[in-house]
Amino acid sequence: MKKTVFAALLMTTAVATPAMLAAAPQEEAKTEPSKEIVLNSFKDNWMISLEGGADFSLGRFDSHAAFGKRIAPVFGLNVEKWFSPVIGLRLGADYYGLKGAALWGNGIGGEKFDNGYYKQSYALVTPALDVMGDLASLFCGYRERVYSPILYIGMGIPVVVAGDGTTVDGVNMGMRGGLLNRFRLSDAWAINLDLRFDVLEATIADEGNHAKTFSALVGVTYKFKDRGWNSPEVPVVAPVVGKYSDAEGDALVAQLRDANRKIANLEQQLAECKNRPAEKVAEEQAPVVTVYYNINSSDLQSKDRVVLKAVAKAIKANEGKKYVITGYADSETGTAAFNNKLRKARAERVYDALVSYGVNPDQLEQKTSDAKLDRFGSYILDRAATISPAE
């Protein structure tokens, strides 16, 4: 509804609007909170247009001239300033060639039509000021478009500069309005189709009635830098959550109390852990010696016998102590039954060697283990037999 009223006011406030826009603050782009209209600096969004076309006279007696005798050239040079994507001003000068028919008045030469009316021809130069409104930006919001329909209304001061016979030498007033169809070619260039209707004071033609013309002009527009618009940044405000119901509030309070109880319990456990003496972890006693075998083998190598001789000497020196010989096998190769035999054979080979080196058999115990001997992730280290002190 507001946009419709704005479009109507555009047609009825041609005189007041230029004064108000001229007095607007010339500052950086900002947003008017109530209307969200983007305003820019005074030096931005200027453009210049050059156009040309033809006008068609619609005066009191012009219908008595042939259609072709009522068409004359029209040219215009205009400067535009846009204060927002919706509204701007256009100041320029237009040349109108006016042709038609008359019984009397200015611009009449000696040529007379067959119907008794005289040929009328004269020219005007009209400085004019227009208030312009971009309908697309008004109703659909600002964005760069290929086509923009621009409605305008304005006032001019037509001055007679040439004509047949007697012409009026003076300054008069005129009103005009139209639709400027603008087609965007690039950021800087656009082409225009300007459809315009003018009403001129009667004293120009001195026919006792207002002179009227319809014009169609095609032109080009160049937009000076800076050309664009900075859209306002509207902050997004999160919706306000309403008050909890009594039931929801009671549930939250219960959850909070339960959480506080759990926190208190954890704090108590932490305090107890700090005051508790550290437990001593019994370290696993390492074997006295480890004998390694080749895969699927229980044969001792010569280097292993050298080691076992030294171990036998140490065992004999500790007659009151017993030792356990444990056989191992890797579980990655072979069957379970084969590996059990291999573990036993490996332990027996070490036992036999120690006994042969003079160790008392009562000091020795044999056993097997299917546990993993290695601690480094290499299963080949499980192909071994160990000698450890008995517990």
- What whole-number distance in Å separates Cα of residue 73 and Cα of residue 53? 6
- Give 314's contacts (C-beta < 8 A, 6+ positions apart): 288
- Per-residue pLDDT at 49: 97
Give the C-alpha separation, 320 to 91, whole Å.
Answer: 123
pLDDT on residue 247: 85
Q: CB-based burial of residue 49 (10 Å sphere; 0-12 exposed, 13-18 middle, 19+ buried)?
A: buried
Which DSSP letter does residue 2 get? H
Stated as kind and residue range, the H or E segment containing 239 is none
> How far is Cα 312 from Cα 216, in angstroms, rounded to an integer?
123
Which residue(s) pair with 123 in the sheet? Answer: 97, 162
CA distance readout (Å), 77 to 125, 198, 253, 363:
11, 17, 76, 123
pLDDT at 356: 92
Which pLDDT score is estimated for 264?
Answer: 93
Q: Where are the alpha helices (DSSP H) in the chain?
A: 2-12, 16-22, 135-140, 246-275, 302-316, 336-356
Gap between the Cα atoms of 320 and 285, Å rounded: 19
| pLDDT one digit per residue (tens) for the chain, 391 residues | 444 444 454 444 444 444 444 444 444 444 444 345 566 788 899 999 999 999 999 888 888 889 998 999 999 999 999 998 999 999 999 999 888 887 776 666 667 888 888 888 888 899 999 999 999 989 988 888 999 999 999 999 988 887 765 555 555 788 999 999 999 999 999 999 999 999 987 656 666 567 789 999 999 999 998 887 776 566 666 666 666 778 888 888 999 999 999 999 999 999 888 888 877 665 556 677 888 888 888 898 989 898 999 999 988 988 888 999 999 998 888 888 898 998 999 899 999 999 999 999 999 999 998 888 776 667 888 889 999 898 7
What torsion do the CA atoms of 309, 313, 314, 315 make, to the nearest 10 degrees?
90
Q: How many CB atoms lie within 10 A of CB 63?
A: 13
Burial of 98 (0-12, 13-18, 19+ CB in 10 A): buried
d(CA 259, CA 206): 97
Compute the distance between CA of residue 153 and CA of residue 12 in angstroms, rounded to an integer: 9
Kindly list the structural domains of the chain, giving each domain's residue range(s) and its CATH number in brackets, ordered by start.
2-223 (2.40.160.20), 289-389 (3.30.1330.60)
**Strand pairing report for 174-184 and 147-156:** antiparallel
Counting every residue written for the chain, the total comes to: 391
Strands 323-327 and 364-368: parallel
Quick check: pTM over 0.75?
no
**Pair of tokens at residue 387:** 């000698």
Packed helices 336-356 and 302-316: angle between N→C axes, nearest 10 degrees:
60
CA 360 to CA 134: how far, in whole Å?
A: 115
Residue 153 CA to residue 196 CA, distance in Å, equals 9
CA proximity to 93, closest of 53, 48, 128: 128
Give Cα 14 to chain centroid, integer Å: 40
